[in-house]
Structure formats: structure tokens, C-alpha cells
Structure 1
């Protein structure tokens, strides 16, 4: 797949574009491993939902699948802050991988980190293996997700999750079909999904779970967010506040 790549810089931030004005990724040049875009920060909120980095030396996640490399922001964050994790990135466009290496400090492949060039849907359907955390952020130059936003794909994704498996899905660019996307995720995961309120960029991140249930009171989420910020610099306090204000946590407990 030949994806056109453009790079821009403004106010100390480098941006990735796929031949259009849409921002497909960003990196603050002085903080290359930080999550610059709000939606990428929210996609890491799974660290608040399972017992892992926030409170016990990184027990979860052990296996991570990232579909859609972009500017490598999620890959770099997991690589540097979850040292116990083995990470597989699936990216369909070799030009995106080359740009991430040249401009966005993509880590070298090693025993913990590897990249597969190909279609994310094909990879999930054809390759064996289970994952604790799947980060789904795959779009074309027109912000379309295609087969990555279909019921059969979400069902296949669920079948690849471990007993503590979580999926985070970036729903950016699907404003017209936003409700339909959520319905597909809910159907695939037997209603065990929640859409976090839209962040400033207009992105909506949905989380879905399989296996062991998630029950986190808001107070516990805030404390875990405090620990996560101290450990990694990632501040998810505003995300929890928006969850509470939106009514997405009935009874003050997030169930998934």
C-alpha cells in the first residue's frame, strides 16, 4: 500500500499527515516518548482498568497488539513504560514505517518489539495468539477505517483477547457512523463496551473487554491515575472528570 506521507512542524511539535491536512500522529520533539495527542493518551486508559502499571510494577499487559502505527506514539509509550510487554505492531503501509523510523524515533525491532507489514484484519483473522491489550488506530488518508470497523473484525478481535483482554478503539473520523460503530462493538463484545466522551480533537475512544469483569469506582480510578502520572507523566485525570460529567459511570462505578 503506497500511502503519501507529509511531515510538518509547529511550535516544537512534529506532525504526520497522509497526503492531506488530517493529523495522523504527532511528537513533541523534546519529549519523543510522551503522548502528544489527547486521544492517544486516552487509548492508554486501559492501564487504569486492569491491574498493571498504575499499581504493581507492570504486571499487565504482557502481550500488546497495535494496529496502525502512525507516528509510533502508542508503540513508543508501551515500549518505554511497560517493560514486561511484548509488542506486535501491524501496519499496512511501508511508507508509514519508514517515516516513523526517520522522523518519529521508532524503536528498533528486538525480542520485545516487532512489526508486521500487512492488513490488520488479515493478521487478526489468520495469525494465532492472544493479547492482553489491543490498540486499534487504523485509518486511510480519508480517515476511513474500512474493514477494521466491521462486526466480523470486532468478533475476530474478541477471540484474540486473553482472560484480562481489553481493546481500545479510536473512532475518529466516523462522526456520521459513530453510533453504528459503537453498536457493532457492543454486539461483538456482548455489551461489554463503553465510549469515552469526545476529547478536544473530536476523537472518541471506545473500550471493550473480554474475560474477567472490570469494576472500578471513580475514586479508585483517580488514585490509579495519580500513580500512573507519577510513574510515566501520563495525566488521565481530565479523562476521569469527563467520564463523570458525561454520566458514563452510573452509580460512580465503571463497569466493563
Structure 2
């Protein structure tokens, strides 16, 4: 394994961005925060950089089960937290009908994503903003502008908890969404704030929430819904998942059974949210 410093620590100052590093092993490049190299903030397969490699990143695309970008006027997907840019790059490459916005507070992360993780430059469909995600979701100009919001806000400082996790933040995330709209959020299950975060998300979204089974790295993805009530047969959702798997190469067909199993309030033949 090799490790590379992408930025040397800057002189101590208020709000100094956390430096980032990357490591490589068996053709996989991983992004880390300096001082927290035991945790990966994302990864790419160097031979296939556009492929979503990690299961939690794949599951962050589960909003596609409920929204078809091709059927949306001015489809807009946004990421809060960039990491190595895996989701941003995937959405930009694989959803040509959608605009993609990524919001990342740490300019060193943006630099790393572009210099070492194949994130393309901004264009008419892609915009990467060096901005606090909380400020972005609180801005009334962003409200009602996003179809799918992907939230992955970790900074290597908060001991496994999201950097943003207040009820006010989750309510602002809901305001950013159009109707219908879906938020997908990555949560670590190994910290004591996990249950509190789930409860806040449920409160902010009127308990219209689905949770994925926990992955082997103790992550889970939650989906939260805005807009009209969703009523769909699980069998139809399975059929949609199989289409998505053939289209995008994601293991979507394997997700449905797990979603039914860990969401006991949705055990019938029809999913209602």
C-alpha cells in the first residue's frame, strides 16, 4: 500500500481546512483525512474510475428506484459532501439529462477529487461549490430546486458522527427538495448518535423514511421522501430495480429484500410512504 499527501498542513488558523491524503492498494485509491487514515472517505477503482465501488456509495443511488431523471423537467441532483467525488462523477457521467451540484466546505477535498480522483471540471451541467452545506441548504434560493439530495457530510473530526446532524439541518434538506423529491443520507452506525440522527430525520420528513441494512463497514443509508404519498407494490419496485441494474451496473436487484426486511412497518405487498 502506498500513501500520498495531497496537501501539507497549513499554519494553524481558524477554520483551517483539514488536510487530506490518499492511499492505494490493489488498484484501488482511497481518500483519507490526515490523522484519520484508518477511515476511508471514499474510493475509486483506478481501472474503472466511473464505477461506484463501495456498497454504501452504490446505495446512495437508491433514489433512482423512485425517481426517473429522464422523466423530470430540468432534473437536478445535489451532493452535500464531495469526498473523492464518486457520486458526483457517477451522476455527471451516467445521468446526462441531469444537472449536478456538489457542495463541499473543504477546498483541499475539492482539489484532491480533481487531481487524484478523476472528477471533471465544471461545465454547463456540473457545478462544484466550495461552501458550507448548512449555508447552502438554508439559502431560500435553493429551496424547491433539487430532485435528489445525497448527503454524506463527514470531516474526520466528529468521531464518526456527521458534521451536520441537527433537526434544523434535516428540515432545511427537506425544503431544498422538490415534490416529489428524495434525500439519501449516509450514516455510521457505530457511534452513539446514530439513533438520534434517525429520529431527527424521521421527524423532519414526517416519518417517511426507509433504512437499508447495515453494511459490513457499519454504514447504513436512509432514504427520506418529500411530496405526494408514494404507493407502489414491492413487486413493481423489484422490477424497477432489475431495470436499473441492467442500465447502471448497480446491484439494485439485491436491495429490495433487505429494504423489506429492515423496515417492518412496510411488510405488506405494497410500500406506502
Deviation (angstroms), 1:221: 1.9
Return closer, same or farther for 1:15/1:247 CA change in 2, 3 Å cut-off: same
Deviation (angstroms), 1:174: 5.7
Q: How does 1:130-169 map to 2 (within 5 A)?
A: 130-142=145-157, 143-146=160-163, 148-169=164-185
Deviations 1:24-49 (A, max 9, x none): 01001111111111001111001012
Tell me if 1:39 matches 2:51: no
Tell me if 1:124 matches 2:124: no
My pick for the range that moved more, 61-70 or 212-221, is 212-221
Q: Distance in 2 between matches of 1:203 and 1:35?
A: 16
Return closer, same or farther for 1:243/1:98 CA change in 2, 3 Å cut-off: same
Asked if the contact 1:38/1:201 (under 8 Å) is kept, the reply is no
Q: Which runs of 5+ in 2 are unaligned?
A: 1-15
Q: How does 1:1-256 map to 2 (within 5 A)?
A: 1-19=16-34, 20=36, 21-50=38-67, 52=68, 58-60=70-72, 62-129=75-142, 130-142=145-157, 143-146=160-163, 148-172=164-188, 175-248=191-264, 249-256=266-273
Deviation (angstroms), 1:224: 1.1
Deviation (angstroms), 1:247: 4.6
State the number of aligned residues. Answer: 250
Q: Distance in 2 between matches of 1:17 and 1:255?
A: 39
Deviation (angstroms), 1:115: 1.0
Deviation (angstroms), 1:158: 1.1
After superposition, the CA RMSD in angstroms is 1.6
TM (norm. structure 1) is 0.92
Asked if the contact 1:17/1:24 (under 8 Å) is kept, the reply is yes
Larger radius of gyration: 2
TM (norm. structure 2) is 0.87
